[in-house]
Amino acid sequence: MDPQRGRTNRRRFLLIAGIPLLGLAGGTAYALKPPAPPPYRHRVRTDLEPLNTRLRPYLGDLAEAHWVGYDVDGPAEDRGIPGPDSRIRLVGVARLAAGGAEAIVSNPEYDFAPGAAPTGLPESLAPHLPAGAAWRHSPKFDAYANPPGARPQVSGRFSFDTARNLVCFDLLYLYT
């Protein structure tokens, strides 16, 4: 028997058997690879104290809330302390104390009118916004709740649904 021929057959066998084995090993490694982290979503908070501290003078005490707060200029994953020139966005929907929305909306000083549903809210808040809400808005109330000269500077919008006793807020705090 020719020893060279045996060596050639062995190489051919390893080549034919090795390609599927390499493919199987690569597929296994891919399957065992940890999944990529999901894209960053703003964490919905339900604690009331940070909101009550900021909004109590304008809305009274909140009974329930779903909200998000984040640094607009910071990286999405950054949950650290904001810098000195930060823009912090507070956005959410909250239930007011009994009769709170009606008391605010019925004040003739603010001249509330039917308004469009809030837009531009983070996706994570969508499950907490009621379908079919009859939102009411007042630029005069916004001006009252966003006083000029306040520190930090604040701007934003409030919309109320009196039937559900809700307020939807989208505020931007500028720290300079």
Residues 109-165 have pLDDT tens digits of 999 999 888 888 999 999 999 999 999 999 999 999 998 887 888 899 999 999 999
Average pLDDT score over residue span 157-176: 93
* Predicted local distance difference test score (pLDDT) of residue 38: 46
Q: Where residue 37 falls among pLDDT bands split at 50, 70, 90?
A: very low
13 and 54 part of one domain: no
Q: Cβ distance 87 to 6 under 8 Å? A: no
Would 38 be classed as within a structural domain? no
Same domain for 64 and 143, yes or no, is yes
29 and 53 share a domain? no
Residue 31 confidence (pLDDT): 67
Domain range for 3: 1-33
Residue 26 in this model has a pLDDT that exceeds 70: no
Does residue 44 sit within a domain?
Answer: no
Instruction: Please indicate, yes or no, whether residues 1 and 79 belong to a single structural domain of this protein.
Output: no
Please indicate, yes or no, whether residues 21 and 54 belong to a single structural domain of this protein.
Answer: no
Q: What is the mean pLDDT of residues 19-24?
A: 71
Mean of the pLDDT values across residues 18-36? 68
Domain assignment present for residue 68? The answer is yes
Same domain, 69 and 25: no
Task: Clarify whether residues 27 and 101 are in a common domain.
Answer: no
Task: Decide if 39 is inside a domain.
Answer: no
Q: Are residues 99 and 27 in the same domain?
A: no
pLDDT surpasses 60 at 74:
yes
78: pLDDT confidence band, cut at 50, 70 and 90?
low
Q: What is the mean pLDDT of the chain?
A: 83
Does residue 42 sit within a domain? no
Domain assignment present for 128: yes
DSSP string covering the chain, please? --HHHHHHHHHHHHHHHHHHHHHHHHHHHHHHSPPPPPPP-PPPB---HHHHHHHHHHH--EEEEEEEEEETTS-TT--S---TT-EEEEEEEEEESTTHHHHHHT-TTT--EE-PPP-S--GGGGGGSPTT---EE-HHHHHHHS-TT-SSEEEEEEEEETTTTEEEEEEEEE--
